[in-house]
Structure formats: structure tokens, C-alpha cells
Amino acid sequence: MARIAVDAMGGDRGPETVVDGALAARADGVEPILFGSPSLDTKGLRLVPTTQVVAMHEKPADAFRQKSDSSLVRAVKAVADGEADAVVSPGSTGAMLAAGLVLLRRVPGVRRPAIAVPIPARRGPSVLVDAGANADCRAEHLLQFATMGAVFAEEMLEITRPQVRLLSIGEEPEKGNQLTLEAHELLAASDLDFRGNAEGRDILEGAADVLVTDGFTGNVALKAVEGTIRTLLDSLREEITASAAGTVGGLLIRPAARRLRKRLDPDTYGGAYLLGLRGLVVIAHGNSSATAIANAIRLAARGAEHDVVGRLAARLPQRAEIV
């Protein structure tokens, strides 16, 4: 049974929500280990008491250095010490990255860990990598991100021989910036199922199983998609409720809108995955519900059972000569 270290203190909705999520995941055969305040009512789940909490606004490196007894740092350390198989936190992505780099260290051969985010695209799930860990990249890094993303798609999204595309500014190979032009060549020469460039307009429609990009572009693009969904639905609600007929229509389409919202809910996929470390790290949204936390814990367990870390290690050294 996979043991998942869970940072109970990092979420916006309070530790009780995380406890409820962990309870739901345990019912599915996962063993959650909670890290948090000694006074927390864990409803029978195992608790490792911790005395500090990392806040969202703290600088990642400072938080990691100054809060060695925080629930976040201790949960990551449990994976490093072999006491847990993976870690889930609804806390700060930056602090998780800092803690993961130092405590878990990188898989041999990995130059840069990357953030993989599953996107509920219209044509089916796809994974965007890197979604923000590496603001400045070289082409070799993008090739590694693609390889890690392919392993993730295979093991976590159950996609056989995932198709990979490179996020750029035109479908033609010669469209892009210096980084994507070089990365395009490396990807085309790799043993991945590389299908060329994709554009920003394809992200939510479903460009590929794995959409690879540098962490700056990936972060801007992911937030553009998320923000556009929110702004558009808010604007539509405003326009609809501006008239009586619209308001009635709004009630009638509510089930459809709910189905759509559920399909687009990023929490279905647990959040963001830090790939390339010697231990699986899952970063749930800060405002995760108990259901979202349970999904994140289940997916972390799945990643541990499928040995995503081991498979990354097995795939990457083959490319050591070109990085």
C-alpha cells in the first residue's frame, strides 16, 4: 500500500479539509501520513506533529531554510528518508520545489526538474510541461521535459505511446524563437513520437498528449487559459442575469454549465507534478476541496505504484550523451 506524506497545513481551506480528503483516499487503499499541528483532529489517521507552517507569500528559499519543522518541509523529508513513497501539499509551489531539490535531489541524468500540469483538454487529457519551474531553458532541457512528460502520460494518464508537440508560434518547423527552433531539431531526432509544433490556440482544444515548453512560456500560457475560462464564465453570467428571460435561461442551462465546469476542473487531475526528483511531488491547488485533495493523494499513490520516478530514471540516461 502506497504511503503518501500529506502536508495538512498548506491549504487555503484549513487542515480539516485536508484531513477529510486524506480519509477519502484511505478508503481507496492508500495510506496517508499527515504532517501538521499536534492539536489537529486527524480522525484516526497517522499524524506526524510539526510546529511550523509555510505561508503562500513567503520566499521559497527562505521558507525552506527557516522552517525545517514545517509541515511542508517535513512531509518532503519523509519521502527523502524512505518513510513515504510520495508527497502531496496544497502549499507553495516554490517552497515545494526548493525543498524537493535539496531534500530529494534530482534523478541521475536529470538536468532540471519540471512542473507537469495535466490539462482537461476537449479531446482528452494532455500534460503541459514545464508549467513554471524553469524560467530560462536550453533546448536540451526541453527534450528532457518532453521525455519526463511522456513517462507521466504513459503511467499517470494511461496513454500508450504519447504524442508530443512543442508549444510555438506556428505549426511550421521554422516558426519559433531560437530555443524552440533548436528544441524542434532535438525532438525530431529523438525516439519520442514527436508531431511538430502546436500553438497557443490548441491548448484547451487538445494539442497533443504532451505539450512541451519552457517554464516561462508554460506558466504564462497555463494562466492565460485558466484566467480566460474564469473571465469568460463570469462575463457570461453577468450578461445572462441582466435580463429576466436570460435569468430563466440561465437556470435551464445550469446543469450543462455544471457538467462543463466539472470537466474543466483542474482538480480532477490532482494539481501539478514535480518531475525529475527522487520521489514524486504533487502540488494541489491552494484552495483544494477535500475531493481535490483525495484525487491528488490517489494520483500520487498511482505514481508511486507505477514507479514513475524509476521509469524516468530508466528513460533519461539513454540521452545522457546529448545533454
Binding site for a second copy (CB under 8 A): 122, 132, 135-136, 167-169, 176-178, 180, 199-205, 213-217, 219-236, 239-240, 242-243, 245-246, 248-257, 259-260, 263-264
By beta-carbon proximity to a second copy, the closer residue of 180 and 295 is 180
User: What distance lies between CA 86 and its chain's CA centroid?
Assistant: 13
By beta-carbon proximity to a second copy, the closer residue of 39 and 178 is 178
280-283 β-sheet, strand order: 46-49, 31-36, 3-7, 86-89, 280-283, 272-275, 114-121, 124-129, 210-212, 163-167, 193-198
By beta-carbon proximity to a second copy, the closer residue of 22 and 225 is 225
Smallest CA-to-CA distance from 111 within 139, 136, 135, 141 is with 141
By beta-carbon proximity to a second copy, the closer residue of 161 and 223 is 223
Q: What letter does residue 143 receive in the DSSP assignment?
A: H
We find the least distance from the C-beta atom of residue 217 to a second copy, in angstroms, to be 6
We find the least distance from the C-beta atom of residue 256 to a second copy, in angstroms, to be 4
We find the least distance from the C-beta atom of residue 164 to a second copy, in angstroms, to be 17
C-alpha cell at 203: 491548448
Q: Enumerate the β-bridge partners of residue 167.
A: 198
We find the least distance from the C-beta atom of residue 197 to a second copy, in angstroms, to be 11
By beta-carbon proximity to a second copy, the closer residue of 108 and 249 is 249
Provide the 3-class DSSP secondary structure of residue 185. helix
We find the least distance from the C-beta atom of residue 314 to a second copy, in angstroms, to be 31
Query: Which residues neighbour 140 within 8 Å (Cβ) at sequence distance 6 or greater?
Result: 111, 186, 322, 323
